[in-house]
Chain A
Amino acid sequence: MTELPKTKKLVLYVAGQTPKSLAAIANLQRICDTHLPGEYEIDVVDLRQNPKLAREHGIVAIPTLVRELPVPLRKIIGDLSDDEKVLVSLKVEG
């Protein structure tokens, strides 16, 4: 029996270990663990390693969190320190 891929996916774009990138990683981990346990598959993409990927999702400022699934795609820019703002953005379907 194989596990089905999650239907909710978050991609966090960071720039190496800048303070905001580290803060965003820690905050996203905390928010998901606290409020959305098991709901999202999370990827962290380091744009310093692969800057070309920034164009694919039109990333300009770092850190940026992209909700790829479910559609529509949504972006949250910043270090994700405002839990409420993050949760509102993630739960908006349309």
Chain B
Amino acid sequence: MNISPEAIAELKRRLREAEDTIRAIREGEVDALVVGLEDRAEVFPIGGDVDAFRAFLDAMQPGAAAIDGEGRLLYANAVFAEMMGAPLETLRGRVVASLFDEAAAGVIAEVISGSEGCRSGLPLRLQAGSAPRDVLAAAAPLSLGTTRGVALTLTDLTERLRAEQLERSGRVAAAIIASAAEAVMVCDLAGIVTHANNAARAVFAGAPEGQPLAQIVPLEFVAPDAPCNMAEMLRRAMAGEAVQGLEARAPQGATAVDLLVSAAPLIVGEAEVAGCVVTLVDIGERKALERQQLLLMQELDHRVKNILAVVLSISRRTQRHTDGIEQFMGAFTGRIHALSATHNLLAEKSWAELTVGEILGAELAPFGLEGSGRVVLHDLDRAISPRAAVSLGMLFHELTTNAAKYGALRGDSGVITVSARRVAAPGGLVIVWKEQVSHAVTTPVKQGFGTAVIAQSMQHAPGGGTEVAFETDGLRCTIAVPGEDTL
């Protein structure tokens, strides 16, 4: 049998090809085989069909990709492509590291290498796509037919981190609200209180959450140009107008009556009004101080007039009992000094640790009545609180001045008796100032400032007050010192 050289060469070529095919199969360089007869040939993948794996990859929620041993991307799902900001078909066969910026590529390389410390994934920031996003990159070994590689997943953490950030911000805001001394409440767009701090609960004596703020405690605004009510104020705030520092009264409130009210829109997101924030500051103390200051100003004005009347009275009395200008000057100067000393005594001691007797003595000292028998005192060695001492000082001052102008100290024969006694209920002290005069006493037609001060004294606490009676033989004033002011 003769075989041509060409035929031998062709046989050798076929032999080489067959050997090459077997070697490639043995060494895993191919991953599919064609099997079957001429007209029924079929392609079979080696090591299982990858379609199932691809379908699984497509269904995964995170971005997922299969990467071969040389770092090339074999498959990826649509989420992965979207994260890369590139069409899916352009990614196949590309070296994965080239899809990321330098920093992210370093993280991806570390994750793919499977080094210690990145088993549970490493965070990275993707700059591709429409907006930066934070992802957790993780990798696991993968075997696809004859190919060894890794499965890379990118889990988008952006929303979760944003939610955590919002939650953290919410906790910070809640802590700020809780720590505020002012009453702070947050309302939704319907005016329903959604958040309130402890100060707010104290103002409203309960939990205002879930209730319409405008109805919890009706407010009466003081300024004429202020909103007519809380509902109107909330409406303005939710329309974007910040309403700041309006004085209002809450006569039905649990504690605070005088309030400084502010409301501002609650803005979340970009200029989106989600409700409003209302703050209520208790200005009751401030208003009380303002009222007291006004009273003190009136008192100061009145005292200047009174002191001049007292000086005039002292002058007249001294004149009646002295001979000659020198004797008058000596006696008069002494009494003026006593008047000044009285003022100093009360000012220096700040009205603290004083007894009823000391307060009365300071007021009477300028009249020089010691040993005259015209002032009779009983049981006045009773200590009282500084608050009551101030009131009692004003009261004695008015009574003394009144006595000097119209009563027992006007002439030479009047007598004043002052006595004190404790009462069991309500546990206070009753002081009786009684004048006895020789001239007729009439009830004044007009009530002056001094009379008003006397009538309104000691009313700062339960059980306190005064009663004035213009008896025919002289004025009687009964003073009840509240139990909490007696020491």
Q: Quick check: is B285 within 8 A (CB to CB) of the other chain?
A: no
Once A23-B70, A26-B72, A61-B21 are accepted as A-B contacts, the answer to whether A78 and B41 lie under 8 Å apart by CB is no
Establish whether residues A18 and B38, one from each chain, have CB atoms under 8 Å apart when the complex forms.
Answer: no
Establish whether residues A15 and B146, one from each chain, have CB atoms under 8 Å apart when the complex forms.
Answer: no
Q: Which of B24, B39, B43 has a CB less than 8 Å from the CB of A78?
A: B24
Once A18-B31, A21-B31, A60-B33 are accepted as A-B contacts, the answer to whether A51 and B41 lie under 8 Å apart by CB is yes
Q: Quick check: is B319 within 8 A (CB to CB) of the other chain?
A: no
Q: Which of B13, B33, B92, B144 has a CB less than 8 Å from the CB of A62?
A: B33
Q: Which of B13, B20, B34 has a CB less than 8 Å from the CB of A54?
A: B34
Q: Which of A15, A17, A51, A63 has a CB less than 8 Å from the CB of B75?
A: A17
Once A17-B50, A19-B149, A61-B25 are accepted as A-B contacts, the answer to whether A55 and B41 lie under 8 Å apart by CB is yes
Q: Quick check: is B118 within 8 A (CB to CB) of the other chain?
A: no
Q: Which of B13, B30, B39 has a CB less than 8 Å from the CB of A61?
A: B30
Chain B residue with the shortest CB-CB distance to A19:
B147
Q: Quick check: is B145 within 8 A (CB to CB) of the other chain?
A: yes
**B residues 22-40 with Cβ under 8 Å of A?**
24-25, 29-34, 36, 38-39
Q: Roughly how many angstroms separate A21 CA and B41 CA in the complex, as a whole number?
A: 18
Q: Roughly how many angstroms separate A48 CA and B35 CA in the complex, as a whole number?
A: 12
**A residues 55-94 with Cβ under 8 Å of B?**
55, 58-64, 72, 75, 77-79, 81
**B residues 314-358 with Cβ under 8 Å of A?**
none
Establish whether residues B31 and A19, one from each chain, have CB atoms under 8 Å apart when the complex forms.
Answer: yes
Q: Quick check: is B141 within 8 A (CB to CB) of the other chain?
A: no
Q: Quick check: is B129 within 8 A (CB to CB) of the other chain?
A: no
Once A51-B41, A54-B41, A60-B21 are accepted as A-B contacts, the answer to whether A20 and B30 lie under 8 Å apart by CB is yes
Q: Quick check: is B66 within 8 A (CB to CB) of the other chain?
A: yes
Q: Roughly how many angstroms separate A59 CA and B42 CA in the complex, as a whole number?
A: 11
Q: Roughly how many angstroms separate A23 CA and B20 CA in the complex, as a whole number?
A: 19
Q: Quick check: is B363 within 8 A (CB to CB) of the other chain?
A: no
Q: Quick check: is A32 within 8 A (CB to CB) of the other chain?
A: no
Q: Roughly how many angstroms separate A54 CA and B32 CA in the complex, as a whole number?
A: 12
Establish whether residues A20 and B29, one from each chain, have CB atoms under 8 Å apart when the complex forms.
Answer: yes
Establish whether residues B42 and A51, one from each chain, have CB atoms under 8 Å apart when the complex forms.
Answer: yes
Tally the A-B contacts, defined by beta carbons under 8 Å: 106
Q: How large is the interface on B (under 10, 10 to 19, 20 to 34, 35 or more residues)?
A: 35 or more
Q: Quick check: is A22 within 8 A (CB to CB) of the other chain?
A: yes
Q: Which of A15, A16, A23, A64 has a CB less than 8 Å from the CB of B93?
A: A23
Establish whether residues B17 and A62, one from each chain, have CB atoms under 8 Å apart when the complex forms.
Answer: no
Establish whether residues A52 and B41, one from each chain, have CB atoms under 8 Å apart when the complex forms.
Answer: yes
Establish whether residues A18 and B32, one from each chain, have CB atoms under 8 Å apart when the complex forms.
Answer: yes
Q: Quick check: is B45 within 8 A (CB to CB) of the other chain?
A: yes
Contacts of B303 in A (CB 8 A): none
Establish whether residues A19 and B74, one from each chain, have CB atoms under 8 Å apart when the complex forms.
Answer: yes
Q: Quick check: is A31 within 8 A (CB to CB) of the other chain?
A: no
Contacts of A63 in B (CB 8 A): 30, 32
Chain B residue with the shortest CB-CB distance to A46:
B43
Contacts of B36 in A (CB 8 A): 51
Number of interface residues of A (CB under 8 A): 31
**B residues 167-210 with Cβ under 8 Å of A?**
none
Q: Roughly how many angstroms separate A79 CA and B148 CA in the complex, as a whole number?
A: 13
Q: Which of A54, A55, A77 has a CB less than 8 Å from the CB of B30?
A: A77
Q: Quick check: is A47 within 8 A (CB to CB) of the other chain?
A: yes
Contacts of A58 in B (CB 8 A): 17
Q: Quick check: is A7 within 8 A (CB to CB) of the other chain?
A: no
Chain A residue with the shortest CB-CB distance to B50:
A18
Contacts of B30 in A (CB 8 A): 20, 61-64, 77-79
Q: Quick check: is B54 within 8 A (CB to CB) of the other chain?
A: yes
Contacts of B70 in A (CB 8 A): 23, 81
Contacts of B72 in A (CB 8 A): 22-23, 26
Once A60-B21, A61-B21, A77-B20 are accepted as A-B contacts, the answer to whether A19 and B34 lie under 8 Å apart by CB is no
Once A19-B50, A19-B144 are accepted as A-B contacts, the answer to whether A29 and B93 lie under 8 Å apart by CB is yes
Q: Roughly how many angstroms separate A79 CA and B149 CA in the complex, as a whole number?
A: 15
Q: Quick check: is A11 within 8 A (CB to CB) of the other chain?
A: no
Chain A residue with the shortest CB-CB distance to B23:
A77
Q: Quick check: is A25 within 8 A (CB to CB) of the other chain?
A: yes
Contacts of A26 in B (CB 8 A): 72, 92-94
Contacts of A79 in B (CB 8 A): 29-30
Once A62-B43, A77-B20 are accepted as A-B contacts, the answer to whether A15 and B54 lie under 8 Å apart by CB is no
Chain A residue with the shortest CB-CB distance to B14:
A58
Q: List 25 A-B contacts (CB under 8 A).
A: A15-B32, A16-B43, A17-B54, A18-B144, A19-B50, A19-B66, A19-B145, A20-B31, A22-B72, A22-B74, A26-B72, A51-B34, A51-B36, A52-B38, A52-B39, A55-B41, A58-B17, A61-B30, A61-B34, A62-B30, A62-B31, A62-B34, A77-B24, A78-B29, A79-B29
Interface set of B (CB-CB < 8 Å, partner A): 13, 17, 20-21, 24-25, 29-34, 36, 38-39, 41-43, 45, 50-51, 54, 66, 68, 70, 72, 74-75, 92-94, 144-147, 149
- Per CB-CB distance, the 6 closest pairs between chain A and chain B, nearest first, are A26-B93, A78-B29, A15-B32, A19-B147, A62-B32, A61-B30
